[in-house]
Amino acid sequence: MEGRPTPESMLEALDSAKRTALALIEEALAEEDPAGVLESIRLRFLGKKGEVSLILKSMGSLSAEARPAVGQAANATRDAIESALARAKDTAEGAALDRELRAPPIDVSLPGRPVELGRRHPVSRTGEEVVRVFERMGFKVASGPEIEGDFYNFEALNIPAEHPARDMQDTFYLASGHPVAATLHDGTRGPEPGEVLLRTHTSPVQVRSMLRSPPPIRIVCPGKVYRRDSDLTHTPMFHQIEGLWVDRQVTMADLKGTLQLFATSFFGKDTRVRLRPSYFQFTEPSAEVDVSCTLCGGSGASRSEMEGHEDAGQGNGSIAGKPPQTGPCKTCSGTGWLEILGAGMVDPAVFEAVGYDPDTWSGFAFGMGIDRVAMLRYRIDDLRMLFENDARFLDQFP
């Protein structure tokens, strides 16, 4: 076969290459990796140095008359192989996909890779949500020291030494006479001497805010407070939020409206609010504020009607006939109301202590226990859990 190619020999070679290629393509489909084999077939016949390409290159030696026919045949051969390859590739891919789709399924029941979400402490979340409600009413957050002087915590709030009202708050004192960190806006009053204590309420922030800025004032102050008391219903530290609104012509009706708006925003639109006369040294008139029970909606009746049914197993199973059992609501002890706030009109004595003219300015103040609200919201029945920070507790509050 040595020697110059003839048109006949070339046509024959093309034909042979085509037949070989097609046969190989056919066989390739049975291989394990048809795509790889098909690629090698393509290279063998159609690659730069492939059989068909070589034949085409050697066409230069042919006469001009012979070229078109051989050229045409070569192109046809290439097209045939290419399209066979394409078809085979499709087939192979189809088969592969088919196999993949028919493989045994993965175990979808295995747990997913854990995403650690973190947790919010219920007291901190509640406090923040309460603040957000008041922010929408135009209140700004204020803060003040937790280690306070007697003046701010008591005197300026109209609670003089030896007043029985001090019995209402058992106070922690610091061991030695540190001055209170207190620089006032007018510079006239430095740190007061006297006993340094842990604030028993957030109300001293009222005093500091009023001493710092002239009216009008509209602030809320969330924070820690301390009372020397520890038992099932008291912790030595707890959280309060104080509110203060001072302006011209602010009335007790405005206090009621503001708290009503808070209650419906925070506890739900059907929440009702009621005021009961009470006594705080720094407000007058003063009020305890109740909201309708968040659990029973104010009805005072328990919603756990199903509880009684378990005892019915003794008889013949005539459960259906047994009336639902309703007892008093545990959250509000059947009263339908929850006491959550103390409030009142700022006492003129407080205005005098901070240098506001009580005939020009009026205002209201309120204070709420955040821990109690958190316990109500999440139905936490053990106060001590709040500050033990047990992971099994914390994990319940996403």
Partner 1 sequence: MKVFLPWLREYLTRDLPEPSELAERLTFAGLEVEGIEEFGAGLAGVVVAQVELCEPHPEADRLKICKVFDGVSKRTVVCGAPNVRRGMKVPLAPPGTRLPGNLLVEKRRVRGVESAGMLLSASELGLWDDHSGLLDLGPKAPVGSALHEALDLSEPVLEIAATPNRPDALSHVGVAREIAAITNSSLRAPTARIRRDIEPSAPYAKVVIDEPERCTRYVAQVVEGVRIGMSPPWLCARLAAAGIRPINNVVDVTNYVLLELGHPLHAFDLDLLAESTIVVRLAKEGEVIETLDEVERKLHGSDLVIADAASPVAIAGVMGGASSEVTKETTRVLIESAWFEPTGVRRTARRHGLHSESSHRFERGADPRIPLQAATRAASLIRKIAGGRVVGLPIDVHPRPFEPLRVTLRFARTNEVLGLPIRAAEQVAILRRLGFKVLKRDRHSVELEVPSFRTEMAREIDLIEEVARIHGYDSIPATLPRRSLATAGEEKGQAHFDIASRLRDAAAAAGCREVVNYSFMSEDEIASLAPRDGEVSREARALMLSNPLSKDQAAMRTTVMVSLLANLRHNRRFQRGDLKLYEIGRAYLFDELGVISEPERFAALMTGRRRPLSWTTDGTAVDFYDIKGLVEAALERVGIDPASCSFETKGDDLPWLHPTSACHVAGPEGELLGWLGEIHPRVAGTFELPAKVFVAELEMEAISRRARLLPTYEGVPRFPPVLRDLAVVVDDSVPAARVRQLLEAPLKEAARAGVNVAKATLFDVYTGQQVGEGKRSLAYAIQYQSSDRTLTDSETMEIHEALIRRLQHELGAQLRS
* Distance of alpha carbon 56 from alpha carbon 14, whole angstroms: 9
- Only segment of 35-43, 63-71, 294-302, 388-396 that touches partner 1 (CB under 8 A): 388-396
Q: Considering beta carbons, is residue 23 or 174 the nearer one to partner 1?
A: 174
Distance of CA 356 to CAs 88, 97, 213, 361, 363, Å?
94, 83, 10, 7, 11
Q: What is the DSSP string of 307-363?
A: GGGGGGGGSSS-GGGSPPP--B-TTTTTSSEEEEEEEEEEPHHHHHHHT--TTT-EE
H/E/C letters for each residue in 128-160? HHHHHHHHHCCCEECCCCCEEEHHHHCHHHCCC
Site for partner 1 in 52-91 (CB under 8 A): none
Residue 375 touching Zn ion (CB under 5 A): no
Residue 285 touching partner 1 (CB under 8 A): yes
Distance of CA 14 to CAs 61, 74, 77, 80, Å?
16, 6, 7, 11
Residue 296 touching Zn ion (CB under 5 A): yes
Site for partner 1 in 354-373 (CB under 8 A): 362
- Only segment of 22-30, 143-151, 189-197, 291-299 that touches Zn ion (CB under 5 A): 291-299
Dihedral of the alpha carbons of 187, 193, 195, 198, in degrees to the nearest 10: 20
* Minimum distance, C-beta of residue 230 to partner 1, in the bound complex (Å): 5
* Distance of alpha carbon 348 from alpha carbon 220, whole angstroms: 20
**H/E element, 88:** helix 66-102
Reference 236, options 246, 244, 245, 226; nearest CA is 226
- Choose among Zn ion, partner 1, none what residue 362 binds, the Cβ cut-off being 5 to 8 Å by kind: partner 1
Dihedral of the alpha carbons of 59, 61, 64, 68, in degrees to the nearest 10: -10
- Choose among Zn ion, partner 1, none what residue 329 binds, the Cβ cut-off being 5 to 8 Å by kind: Zn ion
* Minimum distance, C-beta of residue 297 to Zn ion, in the bound complex (Å): 7
- Give the one residue of 348, 369, 377, 378 binding partner 1; rule: CB under 8 A: 348
- Choose among partner 1, Zn ion, none what residue 332 binds, the Cβ cut-off being 5 to 8 Å by kind: Zn ion
**H/E element, 273:** strand 273-280
Residue 108 touching partner 1 (CB under 8 A): no
- Choose among partner 1, Zn ion, none what residue 395 binds, the Cβ cut-off being 5 to 8 Å by kind: partner 1
- How is residue 132 written in tokens? 């957000």
* Distance of alpha carbon 75 from alpha carbon 95, whole angstroms: 30
Site for partner 1 in 173-192 (CB under 8 A): 173-176, 178-181
- Choose among Zn ion, partner 1, none what residue 295 binds, the Cβ cut-off being 5 to 8 Å by kind: Zn ion
Q: Considering beta carbons, is residue 34 or 144 the nearer one to partner 1?
A: 144
Residue 301 touching Zn ion (CB under 5 A): no
- Give the one residue of 295, 312, 383, 394 binding Zn ion; rule: CB under 5 A: 295
- Choose among Zn ion, partner 1, none what residue 175 binds, the Cβ cut-off being 5 to 8 Å by kind: partner 1
State the distance between the two ends of the chain, measured CA to CA, in whole angstroms: 85
Residue 143 touching partner 1 (CB under 8 A): yes
- Choose among partner 1, Zn ion, none what residue 348 binds, the Cβ cut-off being 5 to 8 Å by kind: partner 1
Residue 392 touching partner 1 (CB under 8 A): yes
Residue 273 touching partner 1 (CB under 8 A): yes
Binding site for Zn ion (CB under 5 A): 293, 295-296, 329, 331-332
